[in-house]
Amino acid sequence: MHIAITQHESVTVVAVTGSIDALTADTLVTALLAELSAGRTRLVADFADVEYTSSAGLRVLLTTLKDARQRGGDLRLAQIRPNVKQVLELSGFTSILKCFADVPLAVASFPR
C-alpha cells in the first residue's frame, strides 16, 4: 500500500493505492490518526486506486470517522471503485460516510 497526503485549502486528501487488509490497515489508520492529531480534521480519502478492502479496512474507516467527528471534522470518500463501493454498500457504510465521484467534489463539500 502507498499513501500520499496533500492539502487542498483546509481539507487534507489522503490518496490510498493498493489493498486495505489485515496487513496494511495499521499503516493507514496510523496515517489518518496522525492527521487528526495534528488538527487536520477535514479528511477526504481518495480511493481511486484502492483495489480491495477487507473488514480491517472498514474498521479503519469507522475509527477515523468517529475520531474526526469527535474533533469537529469529518471523513469523506472519493473516487471509489465499483467493487470497493459494493463492500461499503453491503456493510452499510455508505449510509454513514459521504461518498463523492471525485476529489474536487469531496473537498468542495466541506463548508468554507
Q: Which domains does the chain have, with CATH numbers?
A: 2-106 (3.30.750.24)
- The whole-number pLDDT of residue 12 equals 98
Q: How many CA atoms, within 13 angstroms, populate the side-chain half-sphere of residue 98? A: 16
pLDDT in tens, 15-41: 999 999 999 999 999 999 999 999 999
Which residue is it, cell 463548508? 111
Give residue 74's pLDDT band: very low, low, confident or very high (50, 70, 90): very high
- The whole-number pLDDT of residue 79 equals 98
Contact 42, 74 (CB under 8 A): yes
Helices (H) and strands (E) in the chain, counts: 4, 5
